[in-house]
Amino acid sequence: MPDFDLGPIDMLVIVVFVIAMVGFAIWVGRRQEGTESYFLAGRTMVWPVVGFSLFATQFSGTQYLGLAGAGFETGISVWNFEWVATVVLLVFALLILPFYLQSRITTVPEFLERRYDRRARYAFSGFTVVTAMLLDSAGAMFAGSLVLSLIFPEVPLGVHIALIALLGGGYVLVGGLKSVMITDTIQGIVLFAAGAALFITVFAEFGYEWSTLPELAPEGGFTVAPPADDDFLPWPGIFTGAIWLSFYVWVTNHIVVQRILAAKNIDHGRWGALFAGALQLPVLVLLIFPGVLGRGIYDQDEVTNSDLVWPALVFDYLPVGMRGVVVAALVFALMSTLDSVLNGASSLVVNDFIKQGKREFTERQLLTMGRILVGVFMVVAALWAPVITTFSGIVAYFQSFLGYVTMPLVVVLLGGLFWRRASTAAGFWTLAVVPFGLVAFLLGEVLGLFDIQFLYATGIMFLISLVVFVAISLATDPPPPRTAEITWSRATWRRESAELSGVPWYKNYRVLTLALGVVTVASVVPFV
């Protein structure tokens, strides 16, 4: 592994870059007139910003470290999470997104109240806030601290986490979601370009020989279909776990869906979701392949933390100045991921709890409370972040936690959208399965009292949640007739077909969805 030393030019680039981006973020979001402006960017975002912000929220930070690290450790099977995300985003754009945007909801839990009742909204929202702190915010802080530790190894991890928290939580207090989405897009473009430049540069060391990649990959690691007993990602786990985890991330998680809700209209929301889906596919080349190539550059026995392989390649193969740009963009993007989560969690508390109380507040009072909540959540996430050091890698932490605890949310949301018989009682009581999943996560993944691959555990939790949901629905009264308006049916499809008549093919979301589906299949099949 290289010495992570930045020269004076790199340090100057980092300082200028961070100051410029913070200043730009504050300028972009300088005028906040109310909660819709602060939490939903006034619903004015166009599809390129929506799509790149969706992508950047997931990949601008932790995934840049975790995916390359997973490629180094286990091969390309980690890409299953990304191409499956593309498939889920296709389903989202095709069938689900209209119900969100046409109902003008401000949070995903608000949709649950309309489909079930207020209890489901409170339970769903409370869970999302907790996971946003323990998972997304803490993960972003931890990944950011890893990057800072490369440059300043003598500084304790806790100090790095505190610095990331203060810098990352700063401008979201002023600018809200608009600042976050636009800066997310800038960081995503920079890192996307950096990933491409790094892959080309490193691949050149091996003469651009395609055969090098399968040769360097771990044994059996150059496939998206590892054996069923694989420890990291067995192929049945794609169906028992990966697909349902993707439904949680892209359809259920308010922190992500918030970007869709900020779209200026339904077309921009759909095109943004499809654009984000298309951006998942090159991740194999931009992030995972460099990790695989790293096996031919660094001694596996000397790499104590595979999450550092990608920044190591940056320091070894990119020139002075460019390294500063990439490091600055990566650190700032990690902070931007943190900002996204803090803004989203604050939005949930303000809209799902404070606004629903008996006391009425002015928009300015709600805006002030939202900003205070950002600060509180920032402190909570910073205190939890060091716990992530107990996991073998960032991806392992993210996916295992999600797999155990989010399946009831997925079942409740999808069940409410696609099954008209789903009852009000089922919507609430199925969410009661969440604490059991959390206990199982602590017993299995933290304390090690039992050993089961987490994607199989995800499938088990999904089945348990589904059985509870169906049983309670059939045993209780059917939902009121009003829920039919927010439940998908063939009539919905026919109505949208009529609306699409005469629309040019390049604006027809169904044509675009089909085209992206074909590209996805063509991209995955060679690696089966």
3-state secondary structure 39-51: HHHHHCECHHHHH
Rounded to an integer, what distance in angstroms lies between the CA atom of residue 176 and that of residue 31? 10
Note the pLDDT of residue 200.
93
Which range has highest mean pLDDT (135-144, 158-167, 375-384, 472-481)? Answer: 472-481
Rounded to an integer, what distance in angstroms lies between the CA atom of residue 515 and that of residue 262? 25
8 Å CB contact between 84 and 242: yes
How confident is the prediction for the chain on average, in pLDDT? 86
Whole-prediction pTM: 0.90
For 525, the enclosing helix (H) or strand (E) is none
Note the pLDDT of residue 213.
94
Taking residues 276-288, what's their average pLDDT? Answer: 93
- CB neighbour list of residue 1: distance below 8 Å, 6 or more residues apart: 298, 302, 303, 308, 312
Angle in degrees, CA 445, 127, 70, rounded to 5: 40
8 Å CB contact between 407 and 381: no
- Please give the backbone phi and psi of residue 142, each rounded to the nearest 5 degrees, phi first: -65, -45
Rounded to an integer, what distance in angstroms lies between the CA atom of residue 520 and that of residue 460? 28
Q: How far is CA 14 from the centre of its chain?
A: 26
8 Å CB contact between 377 and 97: no
Single-letter residue type at 149: S
Note the pLDDT of residue 284.
94
Q: Look at residue 344 and tell me whether its pLDDT is greater than 90.
A: no
**CATH fit for domain 8-488, picks 1.10.1200.10, 1.20.1730.10, 3.40.980.10, 3.40.50.300:** 1.20.1730.10
Q: Look at residue 267 and tell me whether its pLDDT is greater than 80.
A: yes
Q: Look at residue 488 and tell me whether its pLDDT is greater than 60.
A: yes
Rounded to an integer, what distance in angstroms lies between the CA atom of residue 412 and that of residue 28? 37
Identify the band that residue 195 occupies on the pLDDT scale cut at 50, 70 and 90. confident
Q: Look at residue 514 and tell me whether its pLDDT is greater than 80.
A: yes
Note the pLDDT of residue 37.
82
151-157 long-range CB contacts below 8 Å, 24 or more apart? 151/4, 151/6, 151/327, 153/4, 157/386, 157/389
Q: Look at residue 79 and tell me whether its pLDDT is greater than 90.
A: yes
Note the pLDDT of residue 387.
67
